[in-house]
Amino acid sequence: TKCVCDLFVSWQGEKNAGFDVLYHNMKHGQLATKELAEFVRERAAIEETYSKSMNKLAKMASNASPQGTFAPMWDVFRVSSDKLALCHLELMKKMNDLIRDINKYGDEQVKIHRKTKEEMVGTVEAVQALQVQSGHLQKSKEGYHAKCLELDRLRKEGAPQKELEKAELKSKKAAESFALCIEKYNRVGGEFEQKMSESAQKFQEIEEAHLRQMKQLIKGYSHSIEDTHVQVGQVHEEFKQNVENIGIDNLIQKFAEQKGTGKDRPALVGFEEYMTALAPEGGKKSRAKAFRIPGLGKRDKEPDST
């Protein structure tokens, strides 16, 4: 597999900042973890608020008027809102669990970074040594060049042999000193390269592990949201079905059963003879039984009184 190492490794550059960039990037990982936890905490708070609002909505539905044919419909709204409240409350809980996971990882991360810092003391020293030696090298080079320039000038001016020999000696010594400096610089540079290479590799491993962990946590976030989304979909489907199932006839029937004041139409009242009394003239036979209005006849509840 292709190693991203070469992309990641930041060599020193003009400002010798490579190590610092990598080190601070690692430290920024802690900030990222903290910010992810804050983001999820905010999301949890949003879901909690939504859940409470849905509870309030459910209460509105259950406080709706129990009168009228529409009344049973409110139960469908109440149940649905209550279930939605539960879905979002569960999401809040899952977000809170996730925050715990993030914080736990954050603690581990701090430990890893502390340990890494200790392990990289050698690299920091190598970086500093290279910086110091780089300064020496520059000075030494300038010195050598100055001596060469002086020698050239004397030659062009046709200076006395003695002076020329003196200047040649100085230039030679400066060249030797410069050569020594180069040697030392290259030695220090070699050490730097090795240490830096190791550290960059280590930084990269840490970074990869960090990003893997962060993506894992984000996966947890998105799975929880997805689960809730599926549940919410089911609640909606159920709501739709319930509304569909409560037919208009159904509502009217329910209402009639609850509030109905009788299915029998009022009927013709017949002449009710008094007990043992004479039959009134005109042969008016009692038709009372068949068409009696409830509550009007005295013997309403007797089985047969014709």
Rule CB under 8 A: which of 154-183 touch a copy of itself?
A: 171-172, 175, 178-179, 182
Binder among 118, 158, 161, 274 for a copy of itself (CB under 8 A): 274
In contact, 207 and 128? CB cutoff 8 Å: no
Binder among 161, 263, 304, 306 for a copy of itself (CB under 8 A): 263
Considering only 64-72, 100-108, 109-117, 156-164, which stretch makes contact with a copy of itself by CB under 8 A? 64-72
- Site residues for a copy of itself, 138-157, by CB under 8 A, read 138, 141, 144-145, 148-149, 151-152
Structure tokens at 200: 């960059």
Binder among 207, 231, 299, 305 for a copy of itself (CB under 8 A): 207
50 or 116: CB nearest a copy of itself: 50
Q: How far apart are the first and last CA of the chain?
A: 106
Q: Which of 76, 71, 69 is nearest to 252 (CA)?
A: 69
Other Cβ atoms less than 10 A from the Cβ of 120: the count is 22
Structure tokens at 164: 């020329």
Cβ 241 to a copy of itself shortest distance, Å: 10
289 near a copy of itself, judged by CB under 8 A: no
Interface with a copy of itself (CB under 8 A), residue total: 120
Other Cβ atoms less than 10 A from the Cβ of 133: the count is 19
Give me the DSSP letters along 165-233. Answer: HHHHHHHHHHHHHHHHHHHHHHHHHHHHHHHHHHHHHHHHHHHHHHHHHHHHHHHHHHHHHHHHHHHHH
256 near a copy of itself, judged by CB under 8 A: yes
107 near a copy of itself, judged by CB under 8 A: no
Binder among 100, 104, 229, 289 for a copy of itself (CB under 8 A): 229
